[in-house]
Chains A and B, each alone.
Chain A
Amino acid sequence: MKYLKFFLSMALTGLVIYGLDSKFGSIPPIGKFLNPYNGIWQNEGDESIDGELILEGLAEEVVVHYDEALIPHIFAKNDKDLYRSQGYITAKHRLWQMEFQTYAAAGRLSEIVGPNAIEYDKQERRRGMGYGAEMAIEKIKQDPRIYNLVESYTSGINSYISSLEPKNYPVEYKLLDYAPEPWTVKKTALLLMYMTKMLAGADSDLEYTNTLKLLGKENFDFLFPDFFDEVDPVIPAETDWTFIDVPQTALPDTELVGDTINFEIAKKPNPDNGSNNWAVSGSKSYSGHPILANDPHLGLNLPSIWFVMQLSTPEHNSFGATLPGALGIISGFNEYIAWGETNATRDVLDWYKIEFNEDRTKYLYDGQWNPVSLRIENIKVKNKETVLDSVLYTHHGPVMYDVNFREENPKRGYAMKWIGHIGGNNQKTFLDLNRGKNYEDYLNALKNYTAPAQNFVFASTEGDIALWIQGLLPNKWEGQGKFLLDGSNPDHDWQSFIPQEFNAHTKNPERGFVSSANQHPVDQSYPYYVFNDGYETYRNRVINEFFNSKERFTIEDFKDLHNNNYNLKASELVPYMLKHMDRSGLTEEQARILDQIKDWNFNNDLDEVGPSIWRRWWASLYDMTWDEFEQEDLAVDTPFTYQTIYILTHYPNHEFMDILKTEKKETAKDLFRLSFEEAVSGLLEWEETNGDYKWKNYKATYAGHLLQGLPAFSRFNIPIGGDRNIVNATSKNHGPSWRMIVEMTSPPTAYGIYPGGQSGNPGSKYYDNFISDWAGGNYLELNFMPSAATTEGVISSQTLKPLP
């Protein structure tokens, strides 16, 4: 009996230890997680920002001043120390995020979250994310100066990681029950791949191929024109291109691959990933100094994608938004110049249909069988066996879809040709911008930048403003890469790249301002093939109209424009619909809601109901218009908003207006009424469950934690107006992820804000403290400290010392 009791109690004790120390499904190991010794209670508080510490590898002492926004201002004596400290300090505030993003980029999430992520991991690996990062490292290695700096940054992060005890791990490690691993140069390359995928990883080639097959060429060209009837391009339409003396690749005598793609196409990056930037010249500025602004539109996440820093050595002193995991300031300024980016959205990703031989060791190319190379991906899975995946590589690139992934025919495959696989020393561009002093330096910094192609806006204290659309861009023949290409035909390969000096650009244009908002880069007069690859058509027009509207602009004007909620899209259709819609026999509710939208001034402001009605109405109208595209198991793309509105208003009786499943032959006028009725019932239903449909409630903007929007660490119902295609591009979970305004005084005067906070720790008061100011249209005055001797605005300082 006594032994039985002994063994029973021993077993129970063992069971309790095991049970409380292990993770079950998504439930954290509850004892490990909640105990006060090294569980979450140790994460209550802020990161240490004072005192002295030894940072191994430093040559000289580094001073880090923190201001009240927890922005670190790093003063080092040389570049190696500077970037080592950047790595260390960034890791201190954002370690979990920087590591998690690289796991996501590399297709390693299964290691952290288990089998649910295997499909995602496979997809990312088959996309060649790891391969592309390796190619980038090869390129960076050819530049020992940059490679050394990346290594210093890496060791800085690792110094921080090795200083941690389990109780100091960020709370997410505790929740998911794992530990940080050492940072590597490859992780920095992976982070840049993550950005490349986010910004240059979308295409519609396969969907367009299906759509073309479904509708025929005439309809396709009508619905998806290369240029809309009106474009307001990034580079002004009147630009003279006669200096370009390398012609567009000649159209080969070839046929399209008329194919139908039946498998499920991998999810694309959010099409709203984009941005605004602009600069006015001294002549258009209230003070005579150029003013520049940038706001990148990305997913609204916590911790925020940006981390703001000042990075200073005796040779250069820069300030702005950094990407945790990469070196230098990405969007910011120094004593002489300011720069910012928007996505250039060019077609740098094409698909090639591949024919394999019997045993899949060769593929057909130019009448010959060329060998494929094999890359085995080892996908480690938490608490499960490693999954192996074989990816075949052709000279085009990785065969993403084949019999191992979504395609059924073993002899068929779809290879990806992507700029992300070519590799580039893109870290160099940013490091050179950080130390740039004038237009020449900016131009030299940009020259070798490959991807993701960006519209780099520029302003200098010397008075120059400029905008270069920079990336390594293929010189394509007319129509190349809009649809699936033939992987066996050499004519279908990318033949060459547009020489860098012929990339579209503008410097000190006569109109006195430069701007970009992801719209068409150029008009038809540009001598290289460019087609509409999902270009913006609204924000750009509002911005350009604003800068054409008066002579002089102030900082306040810039702030107003960032926060401009004008819905140009609605203003181009609502009056037309109200005019043409049949209003007979409306119910009382319908009449009331119609009155509400009639009274709307087209501003997507917080307390308006107009934007909610418009959104609901437009969603129904759009779906009804394109009912022809409702296909089961066949991926197709529906036309862009701009073209949809163009057709509704210019071709109201077109056969596409008909709703196929009804007897009647509908016209646009009928669709307005039918979609309005549907919208009204949708709104009333929404109102019943959620209360009134004022825009702030209906849109309900939130910033979601990086871990699938984990509610505990996310912030909901952020009161901010705007929407997609509006200059204040804040939709539900997407929008201006960093807003910056820089006036080119000497030294520059700058303002910035982002929807998050400097700390990555949900337990810190600095985790989300910028959100309300961001939503309210307020900015931080960025304290650009001249030297380490600065004391004004410093709340705390930390000294990093070399080994004695």
Chain B
Amino acid sequence: MNKNIINLILTVLLAFVWSMLSMDWWSAMLAAIIVGSMVPLKGFKVFLMPFLGIFLFWGLYAYVLSSGNDFRLARQIGVLLNVGERPFLVILITALIGGLSAGVAGVFGKQLANLKRKK
């Protein structure tokens, strides 16, 4: 399988397991760091794959929780965040936050791998 896809799947898998174990939100970043250092990628994909993985995971997770409740709270959080009663925008923001932080963490993971390799 393509290394990119492996990185993405492993990141999501690890993040998912940790979330089930009631770990805090930044465990998604930890997942991206570890996977990023064990399955190092090249170029922009170092950022992109963990970004995509956690973006999808968080977005889907938020969607599942919210859709079961008619997006009732998400609409109000939209007002709170000044984006209006737009639950999908709130889900998008959530997914972006997860994705971006995982992307940054992935870059760090790659640097960690570089450090290890040259030793």
Chain A residues proximal to chain B, CB less than 8 Å? 2-3, 5-6, 9-10, 12-13, 16-17, 20-21, 30-32, 34-45, 165, 167, 171, 175, 710-713, 761-765
- Contact indicator B114/A2 (Cβ below 8 Å): yes
Q: How far is the CA of A762 from the CA of B108 in the complex (A)?
A: 39
Instruction: Say whether, besides A10-B111, A16-B101, A712 and B79 are in contact (CB < 8 Å).
Output: yes
Q: Which residue of A lies closest to B72 (CB)?
A: A763
A42, A710, A712 pick with most chain B CB within 10 angstroms? A712
- A16-B101, A34-B97 as given contacts; A713 in contact with B24, CB under 8 Å: no
Q: How far is the CA of A12 from the CA of B46 in the complex (A)?
A: 15
Contact B111 A763 (CB under 8 A): no
Name the one of A5, A9, A12, A44 contacting B66, with C-beta atoms under 8 angstroms: A44
Q: 8 smallest A-B Cβ distances: which pairs?
A: A763-B73, A35-B25, A36-B61, A712-B80, A712-B79, A44-B69, A9-B108, A6-B111
Q: Report the Cα distance A41→B66, complex, angstroms.
A: 7
Contact B73 A35 (CB under 8 A): no
Of residues A31, A43, A45, A175, which shows the largest number of chain B Cβ atoms within 10 Å of its Cβ?
A: A31
Q: Do B76 and A34 have beta carbons less than 8 Å apart?
A: no
Task: Output the residue of A10, A17, A44, A761 with the most chain B CB within 10 A.
Answer: A44
Tell me the complex Cα distance, A171–B79, Å. 14
Q: Which of B26, B61, B115 has the most CB of A within 10 A?
A: B26
Instruction: Write 16 A-B pairs (CB below 8 A) sorted by A numbering.
Output: A12-B108, A13-B29, A21-B25, A30-B97, A34-B62, A35-B94, A36-B58, A36-B65, A38-B24, A39-B25, A40-B73, A43-B73, A44-B66, A167-B22, A762-B72, A763-B73
**Which A-chain residue is minimally distant from B96 (CB atoms)?**
A34
Give Cα distance in the complex from A560 to B104, angstroms.
Answer: 64
Contact B69 A13 (CB under 8 A): no
B55 vs chain A, min Cβ distance (A): 12
Q: Which residue of A lies closest to B60 (CB)?
A: A36
User: Please, which residues of chain B bring their CB within 8 A of the CB of A38?
Assistant: 22, 24-25
B69–A763 contact, CB under 8 A? yes
A716 to chain B, nearest CB (A): 11
A45 in contact with B68 (CB, 8 Å): yes
Residue of B25, B29, B72, B98 with highest tally of chain A CB at under 10 A: B25
CB contacts (< 8 Å) of A13 on chain B: these are 29, 33, 104-105, 107-108
Query: Hey, which chain B residues are within 8 Å of A41, CB to CB?
Result: 61-62, 65-66, 73-74, 94
- Give bound CA distance, A12 to B33, whole Å: 12
- Residues on A with beta carbons closer than 8 Å to the beta carbon of B42: none
Instruction: Collect the chain A residues with CB atoms within 8 Å of residue B112's CB.
Output: 6
Task: Kindly state whether residue B77 has any CB partner on chain A within 8 Å.
Answer: yes
**Pair B80/A44 contact, Cβ less than 8 Å:** no
Per the bound structure, the CA–CA distance linking A165 and B23 in Å amounts to 11
Contact between chains at B69 and A36 (CB < 8 Å): no
Residue of A nearest to B27 (CB): A37
A711 lies within 8 A of B79 (CB)? yes
Alpha-carbon distance between A43 and B78 when the two chains are bound, in angstroms: 14
B93 within 8 A of A: yes
Cα–Cα, bound, A44→B77 (Å)? 11
Closest CB-CB distance, B38 to chain A, in whole Å?
Answer: 16
CB neighbours of B62 from chain A (8 A): 34, 36, 41
Chain B residues closer than 8 Å to A710, beta-carbon distance? 80
Residues of A within 8 A of B24 (CB): 32, 37-38
A32 touches B73 (CB 8 A): no
Task: Pick the most buried of A21, A30, A35: most chain B CB atoms within 10 A of its CB.
Answer: A35
Q: How far is the CA of A40 from the CA of B73 in the complex (A)?
A: 8
Min C-beta distance of B81 to chain A, whole Å: 8
In the complex, residue of chain A having the shortest beta-carbon distance to the beta carbon of B69: A44
Contact B98 A35 (CB under 8 A): yes
Cβ 8 A contact of A42, one of B26, B65, B76: B65
CA distance A34 to B74 in the complex (A): 10
CB distance from A101 to the nearest CB of B (A): 21
What is the bound-complex CA distance between A10 and B104, given in angstroms?
9
Query: When A13-B108, A36-B65, A41-B65 are in contact, do A21 and B73 touch as well, CB less than 8 Å?
Result: no
Closest Cβ of chain A: how far from B112's Cβ, in Å? 7
Q: How far is the CB of A21 from chain B (nearest CB, A)?
A: 7
Contact in complex: A31, B97 (CB < 8 Å): yes
Shortest distance from the beta carbon of B43 to any chain A beta carbon, whole Å? 14
10 additional contacts, CB 8 Å, given A20-B97, A36-B65? A10-B108, A12-B108, A13-B107, A13-B108, A20-B101, A30-B97, A32-B25, A41-B94, A44-B73, A167-B22
In angstroms, how far is the closest chain A Cβ from the Cβ of B73? 3
Chain A residues near B104 (CB, 8 Å)? 9, 12-13, 16
Rounded to whole Å, the gap between the CB of B88 and the closest CB of chain A is 13
In the complex, the chain B residue whose C-beta lies closest to that of A27 is B81
A2 CA to B98 CA in the complex, in Å? 27
A37 touches B108 (CB 8 A): no
Q: Which residues of A contact B118 (CB under 8 A)?
A: 2
Chain B, 22-50, CB within 8 A of any chain A CB: 22-29, 33
The complex places the Cα of A31 from the Cα of B26 at a distance, in Å, of 8
Nearest chain A CB to B57 CB, angstrom units: 8
A44 touches B111 (CB 8 A): no
B97 adjacent to A712 (CB under 8 Å): no
The chain B residue sitting closest to A44, CB to CB, is B69
The reply to whether B25 and A37 form a contact with Cβ atoms under 8 Å apart is yes
- Minimum CB–CB distance from A764 to chain B (whole Å) comes to 8
Chain B residues within 8 Å of A167, by CB: 22
Bound complex: CA A295 to CA B115 (Å): 72
B29 adjacent to A17 (CB under 8 Å):
yes
With the chains together, A171 CA to B72 CA distance in Å?
13
Minimum CB–CB distance from A473 to chain B (whole Å) comes to 45
